[in-house]
Amino acid sequence: MHAQAFFIFLNFVDMIHYCPLAVVPVRREPDDRSEQVTQLLFGESIEVLDKQSKWSLIRGEDGYEGWIDNKQYQTSDAHFDQYVIQRAFEYSYEGHELHLPHGSKLSVKAPALSAGLAWSPASLAQTSRLYLNTPYLWGGKSIYGIDCSGLTQQVFRVHGLLLPRDAWQQAELGETIHLPAEAKCGDLAFFDNAEGKIIHVGMLLSPTEIIHASGWVRIDAFDQQGIFNREIKQYSHKLRIIKRIKL
**Structure confidence at residue 112 as a pLDDT band (50, 70, 90):** very low
- CATH code at 218? 3.90.1720.10
Residues 6+ apart with CB under 8 A from 27: 34, 35, 36, 37, 66, 67, 68
User: Choosing from 102, 159, 200, 237, which is the catalytic residue?
Assistant: 200
Work out the burial of residue 213: count CB atoms within 10 Å of its CB; fewer than 13 is exposed, 13-18 middle, 19 or more buried. Answer: buried
In a domain, 226, yes or no: yes
User: Are the beta carbons of 1 and 33 closer than 8 angstroms?
Assistant: no
- pLDDT for the residue numbered 213: 98
The answer to whether 19 is a known catalytic residue is: no
Q: Does residue 11 carry a pLDDT above 60? A: no
219: β partners: 211
In a domain, 157, yes or no: yes
User: Choosing from 79, 148, 159, 237, which is the catalytic residue?
Assistant: 148
- pLDDT for the residue numbered 87: 80
Tens digits of residue pLDDT in 197-233: 999 999 999 999 999 999 999 999 999 999 999 999 9
Domain that residue 229 falls in: 121-244
Residue 114 CA neighbour count, 13 Å, CB half: 27
- pLDDT for the residue numbered 6: 36
In a domain, 35, yes or no: no
- pLDDT for the residue numbered 3: 35
User: Domain total for the chain?
Assistant: 1
